[in-house]
Structure 1
Amino acid sequence: MLSGYLLSDYILLLTGLLLACGVLVSKFSTRLGVPSLILFIAIGMLMGSGGLNILPLGNVEYVQAIGILALVIILFEGGIQTNWSVIRPVAGTALSLATITVLLTSLLLAGFAYVLLDLTMTEAFLLGALVGSTDAAAVFATLKGKNIKPNLSASMEGEAGANDPMAVFLTLAAIELLTSPDPSYALMAGSFLWQMTGGLLIGLVLGKAGSYAVNKINMDAGGLYPIFAISFAFIIYSSAQFALASGFLAVYVAALVIGNSELTYRHSITTFHEGFAWMAQIVMFIVLGALATPEDIFSWGVIWTGVLLSFFIMFIARPAAVFLSTIGSGFSLNDRLFLSWAGLRGAVPIILATFPIVAGVDNDSIIFNTVFFIVLTSALIQGSTIAPLSNKLKVTAPDTKDEHSSWELVNIGKTDAKLVEYKASKRSAIIGHHVNSLNIPEESAVNALVRDGELLNTDANIEIQPGDTLFILVATRKKHDLKQMLDGQKEKKRFS
């Protein structure tokens, strides 16, 4: 009995220490000029069997499952935070980057790896497939807090959220070619088409169902709404996978739908998922770091080949693929240069690199170690230079903090009413109007107005200004009328 308590205490202490280290690392990574994921991986390598042996991870399949779980959480949070009105104009470019760019990058790197390494052409193609895609966790984390032009950041996020099907398809196709005596090319092509279309359709349908359920089911505790929302992420991923479609794409699309719908307890849901995604990212990169063996990753053979392959991706393969796939996109030369450099590698290539190990592919350890080193190099060099490069290329945007209004619905217990928290933007229809003269629907009332942190008297003749937050109690059946009155025709519509 005592040993059981000691084991649980050890696990809890280790978990607490790792999460605390992750949070502190995130805080200081910006000051150090090093992407946080590099430091997370370093902590994992220190804790793993190749370091202090505090976190020995011998079962690759468990690590793979943890990585996939974390990616689902990260993709879901990224989709919820993405504004559809921003990503819609560049959806075609994002799709081109997620497919054509990944394919061309993989093929170019495969050719170079075949010449450089002692691998067969199919094994070289597998290596190229593993690192051909950008990583959602790395891209989302890197873009946070950086004021990149909306069309560029939306393209990067869309690519990172949608390119996993192509990466998974190319990886599994290469493994099929290596392990199957009679592979079917027609079946593999059909599988990819279904992964993309099936993932898109499942994400749209279940995303609509998820947003409807969150809004329609009244819960006694506000803290249940974020849990209910994340449950849909897991259900959507599994449903798509069982249907042989892309679970990652389905989750990202569903999150876009949910995040761009009118959502009860939106602030609670987004805040919860932001913290949950950070925790998933910390755990994922620490676990992946613990899986690696430092003496293998940093052996001379891996270092010199990894450096050459990394530089080939950064300066030849990725730029060539981006420039070809963005022809006619309207992006400037500087935009395309930035897109080329911002193609960060991260968790996805490492997780995919566990697939050949599980499948028993020849040279699996060489492939895994090389992929791991490429990810480290990409994150360290590209991740730490994105901010200065964005300024150099002049792809930053003016402050858009007040560009859109926010609309937050909060249920009032079991009553048929909701409390609306509405933050007015410069484009809101009510700017310049007086609070006591607003043409709000019947069965509604303005309860409070907050300006610069100060609660103002709503009975006074106050003119509404950008940045003001109004708290309005409204009957549930009148909330759409209220929103139409507040926004008028000046706000871009979201998913409904």
Structure 2
Amino acid sequence: MTDTTTAIALIGALGIGAQWLAWRFQLPAIVLMLLAGILAGPATGLVSPRAQFGPVIDAAVGAAVALILFEGGLTLNFNELRTARPAVRRLAALGAPLGWLTATLAAHWVAGLSWEVAAVFGGVLVVTGPTVVTPLLRQARLDPRPASILRWEAIVNDPLGALAAVLAFEIVAALAAAGGHAVPMALAHLALGVAIAGAAGWAAGKALAAAFRRGAAPEFLKAPAMIAAVLAVYAACDSLLHESGLLAVTVMGVVMGNARLPSLGELLRFKEAVTVLLVSGVFIVLAAGLDAPMIAALDWRAALFVLAVMFVARPAAVLASLIGTNLPWRERAMIAWIGPRGIVAVAISGFFGARLAELGVPDAHMLAPLAFALSAATVVAHGFSIGPAARLLGLTSTEPPGALIVGGSPWSAALAETLLKAGAPVLVADRNWSHLRHARVLGVPTYYGEILSEQAEHSLNLSRYGWLLATTDNDDYNALVCTDFAPEFGRRNVFQVGRSDEDEGERGLPVTLGGRPLGAGGDHAAYAERFARGWRFRRTALTEDYGFEDWRRDQPEAELIAVQGRSGALAFSGPDDPITPRPGAAIIFFGPPK
């Protein structure tokens, strides 16, 4: 067994290392973290949380779970829920309660858990989680509609499932604290706890949002102040009424998530980074804390429970909630099948199980190993089957990732037409209706509205596009669009015209803002002027007999814009990272008249 400092470093390294390996090799992160935790704990004894951290481990895990639940509540936007498509609303309003019920029944009748523990576990299992679903959808390249429904279901059900689990946990904890005899007293205790926690969370969320809106805290202190406030609310409520802190911070997150804070985007990104670190650490700690008897307790009933949730509970809840919708049966079948349980569900299950076991609730010690088994099985099964299932049902999107072009002008519409003819999905967006006339005439799909608005976020399916090109005549707006979309598309996949950092030197945009220069780095006026002189976008295929050097010799003035591989995938070029195409690829360029 290592010393405490080494154990802390090892937990961090294993958690983030597993996350990185999962990203690098397109593997399920939860499986790698489970293996890492078991190797570090039961297998080698390098990490033994109880022995190395003592009683402080419970407080640390509790605080981490509080922050995780707050982040879940922060993402529950009521406006998004109202504007979500009918299938998502049904999955939230009907599917979540039905999923809670069916998972509870499976946990009791199949896994043999007591009703109290089964009810808590059923609430946890409502959570599918966008951090697990989104990589699967990206890997399978599912058709836009089922992919969008699955993504939004995960986003909405993540906080709803956490809230359901917290409520069930509060009920069971209150009954256990009363010894199971004075039920009216336990219910009164529960009502008091819910009232205090709800009021405290609501008041704290309102107060913090008002303080941020008035500028009472500078921008660099908002995220740390928010985390400190969450921990303070959690500790204060828990000290007044045991186990009420989790409900308080969940309510606090929901209040702040719907407060329309201007800085909410930055706060969310910071919270997501913290949550990834916390979830990874908690997962490694819980996996390392599994002992041989707990693992051995996963008998045939546990295997049957996993199969019951995957093949009965989840499909029954989804199919029942989608009755009456206009979704084809193939899409319903795909949505009913895909429901992986992620790291958050395991972290919450392990924490609740430990707390309920301390209260003397029977079978509570089984929550953690069952959650590990279910999460690993669903992530592996759904991760490896989503692609073949999508192809079998005819729901696989065969088109390569395309380009979202922000800014309608004659030359950007011509670029979009060239990309569209090359077989890539393209969308031209502009908040000026007349600017989209050129794209509409050329038959290019358009979006009229502010691309940075909530309406665009709710109505556009951006999973079809892997690249963003900001091509308006306002360089500052182009930089704003690229900065806003960089976390979603990836910073190397956002380009803008009008970025001339080399000419401006220290007065240019910092590297943290804006996108990469497109093509040769010209601005909007330069493209418009050359387009007016007859320059056009064209596509040329390269072969062994006619390579890139031959094209450059024939087109010395032309500007390379993008390269399209044999599979149809695009790669845009910039002056800071020029591309040298190989034979078999096609180049898309901007050149003078022939």
- Normalising by the smaller structure, the TM-score range is 0.5 to 0.7
- Displacement of 1:76: 3.9
Change (3 A) 1:60 1:330: farther
Q: Taking structure 1 as reference, are residues 306 and 51 closer, same or farther at Cα in structure 2, changes over 3 Å only? A: farther
Tell me how far 1:429 sits from its aligned partner.
4.6
Superposed counterparts of 1:337-486, under 5 Å: 337-339=334-336, 341-344=338-341, 345-365=345-365, 368-382=368-382, 385-386=385-386, 389=389, 394=395, 426=429, 428-429=431-432, 432=435, 448-450=476-478, 452-455=495-498
Q: CA offset at residue 285 of structure 1?
A: 0.3
The answer on 1:129 being equivalent to 2:157 is no
Give the distance between the partners of 1:70 and 1:79, measured in 2 at CA: 14
1:174-185 aligned at under 5 Å gives the runs 174=172, 180-184=179-183
- 1:321 and 2:323 aligned: no
Letter in 1 for 2:97: T
Distance in 2 between the 1:342 and 1:231 partners? 34
Partner residue of 1:36 out of 13, 17, 29: 29
**CA offset at residue 312 of structure 1?**
1.2
Q: TM-score, normalised by structure 1?
A: 0.66
Instruction: Provide the C-alpha distance between the structure 1 equivalents of 2:79 and 2:199, rounded to a whole number of angstroms.
Output: 20
The alpha-carbon distance between structure 1 residues 67 and 336, as it changes in their structure 2 partners (threshold 3 A), is: farther
My pick for the range that moved more, 199-208 or 95-104, is 199-208
Contact 1:297 1:369 in 2 (8 A): yes
Aligned length: 410
Change (3 A) 1:82 1:236: same
Matched, 1:285 2:313: no
8 Å contact kept, 1:353–1:368: yes
Please tell me whether residue 23 in structure 1 is matched to residue 16 in structure 2. Answer: yes
Q: Do the aligned partners of 2:124 and 2:164 also contact (CA within 8 Å) in 1? A: no
User: What per-residue deviation string (whole Å, max 9, x for no partner) do you get for residues 246-272 of structure 1?
Assistant: 2354144135225xx2423x5543332
Q: 1:402 to 1:287 in 2, by over 3 A?
A: farther
Judging changes above 3 Å, is the alpha-carbon distance between structure 1 residues 369 and 229 closer, same or farther for their aligned structure 2 residues? Answer: closer
Q: Provide the C-alpha distance between the structure 1 equivalents of 2:50 and 2:434, rounded to a whole number of angstroms.
A: 58
Residues 102 and 132, structure 1, Cα contact 8 Å, conserved in 2: yes
Q: 1:149 aligns with which of 140, 147, 150?
A: 147
Q: Is 1:105 matched up with 2:103?
A: yes
Cα pair distance change 1:224/1:430, threshold 3 Å: farther
Deviation at 1:106, TM superposition (A): 0.1
Superposed, 1:36-185 pairs within 5 Å as 36-48=29-41, 51-57=44-50, 62-78=56-72, 80=74, 85-88=79-82, 89=84, 90-91=88-89, 93-114=91-112, 123-134=113-124, 139-145=129-135, 146=137, 149-171=147-169, 173-174=171-172, 180-184=179-183
Return the letter of the residue paired with 2:251. Answer: A
- Partner Cα distance (1:190, 1:46) in 2: 42
- When the two structures are superposed, what TM-score results if normalisation uses the length of structure 2? 0.56
Deviation at 1:82, TM superposition (A): 6.3
- The structure whose RCO (Cα within 8 Å, separation 6+) is larger is 1
Q: Deviations over 1:200-245 (max 9, x none)?
A: 776666444433322322555x432221233344455567766858
Does the aligned pair in 1 maintain the 2:37–2:287 contact within 8 Å? yes
| Larger-Rg structure | 2
What are the residue-to-residue correspondences of 1:8-19 with 2, within 5 Å?
11-19=4-12
Distance 1:233 1:174, change over 3 A: closer
Q: Which position in structure 2 is the counterpart of 1:257?
A: 258
- Is contact 2:18–2:36 with CA below 8 Å preserved after alignment? no
Q: Distance in 1 between matches of 2:59 and 2:392?
A: 40
1:488 match: none
- State the Cα deviation string for residues 302-356 of structure 1 (Å, max 9, x = none): 2422211111111112322333345456665434652453151522222222133
1:307 is aligned to 303
Return the offset for 1:137: 8.1
Name the SS for the 2:123 alignment partner: coil
SS state of the match for residue 432, structure 1? Answer: helix
Instruction: Check if 1:296 corresponds to 2:293.
Output: yes
CA distance in 1, matches of 2:204, 2:70: 13
What amino acid maps onto 1:312 in structure 2?
A
1:359 CA drift (Å): 1.4
Seen in structure 2, the aligned counterparts of structure 1 residues 348 and 41 have a Cα distance that, compared at 3 Å, is same
Indicate the larger mover: 170-179 or 311-320: 170-179
Instruction: Give, in angstroms, the shift of residue 65 of structure 1.
Output: 3.6
CA contact (8 A) 1:204 1:257 kept: no
User: What one-letter code is carried by the residue in structure 2 that aligns with 1:140?
Assistant: P
**Residues 41, 287 of structure 2: 8 Å contact kept:** yes
In 2: Cα distance, 1:343 partner to 1:193 partner: 35
**Corresponding residue SS for 1:448:** helix
**Paired position in structure 1 for 2:547:** none
* Match of residue 225 from structure 1: 222
Given that residues 57 and 291 in structure 1 are in contact (C-alpha distance below 8 angstroms), is that contact kept between their aligned partners in structure 2?
yes
Q: Structure 1 residues 73-82 or 209-218, which shifts more?
A: 73-82
Contact conserved, 1:133 with 1:349, CA < 8 A, in 2? no
Contact 1:75 1:136 in 2 (8 A): no
Shift of 1:277: 1.4
The amino acid of 1:143's aligned partner reads V
SS in 2 for 1:426: strand
State the distance in 2 between where 1:364 and 1:312 align. 20
Q: CA contact under 8 A between 2:49 and 2:57: conserved in structure 1?
A: no
Contact 1:74/1:136 (8 A) holds in 2 = no
For 2:13 and 2:120, the matched residues in 1 are separated by 31
Q: Give 1:323's aligned amino acid.
A: L
> Residue 71 of structure 1 aligns to which amino acid in structure 2?
V
Partner Cα separation in structure 1 for residue 61 and residue 402 of structure 2 = 34
Residue 402 of structure 1: how far off its partner (Å): 5.5
Q: Judging changes above 3 Å, is the alpha-carbon distance between structure 1 residues 317 and 232 closer, same or farther for their aligned structure 2 residues?
A: same
Query: Aligned pair in 2 of structure 1 residues 341, 130: CA closer, same or farther (>3 Å)?
Result: farther
Letter aligned with residue 269 of structure 1? L
CA contact (8 A) 2:111 2:304 kept: no
Q: In 1, Cα distance between the equivalents of 2:398 and 2:209?
A: 31
Q: Which amino acid aligns with 2:293?
A: D
Is the contact made by 1:162 and 1:249 (CA closer than 8 Å) also made in structure 2? no
Question: What SS does the aligned partner of 2:476 have?
Answer: strand
1:142-169 Cα shifts (integer Å, max 9, x gaps): 1344456334322222222112333344
User: Contact 1:34/1:384 (CA < 8 Å) preserved in 2?
Assistant: no
Matched letter for residue 305 of structure 2: L
Sequence identity, in percent? 18
Task: Return the alpha-carbon distance in structure 2 between the equivalents of residues 239 and 374 of structure 1.
Answer: 34
- Partner secondary structure for residue 50 of structure 2: coil
- CA offset at residue 28 of structure 1? 2.0
Amino acid at match of 1:139: G
Cα 1:136–1:370 shift into 2, 3 Å: closer
> Where does structure 1 lack aligned partners over 5 or more consecutive residues?
1-6, 115-122, 406-423, 434-445, 464-496
State whether residues 134 and 343 of structure 1, in contact with CA within 8 Å, keep that contact through their aligned partners in structure 2.
no
Partner SS for 2:498: strand
Deviations for 1:358-416, whole angstroms, at most 9, x for unmatched residues?
Answer: 113345545654454334433443455456656665398997995999xxxxxxxxxxx
Code of the residue aligned with 2:214 in structure 1: it is: K
Q: Residue type matched to 1:184 in 2?
A: V
1:32-63 residue CA offsets vs partner (Å, 9 max, x unmatched): 55421222232222223653243332589654
Cα gap change, 1:91/1:76 in structure 2, threshold over 3 Å: closer, same or farther? farther
Q: Is the 8 A contact 2:129 2:158 kept in 1?
A: yes
Q: Which amino acid aligns with 1:316?
A: V
Aligned 8 A contact 1:78 1:252 in 2 = yes
Q: Residue 54 and residue 163 in structure 1: after superposition, are their counterparts in 2 closer, same or farther (change >3 A)?
A: closer
Residue deviations 1:99-120 (CA, integer Å, cap 9, x gap): 3421332024312334xxxxxx
User: 1:237 touches 1:247 (CA, 8 Å); kept in 2?
Assistant: yes
Instruction: Give the RMSD, CA atoms, in angstroms.
Output: 4.5
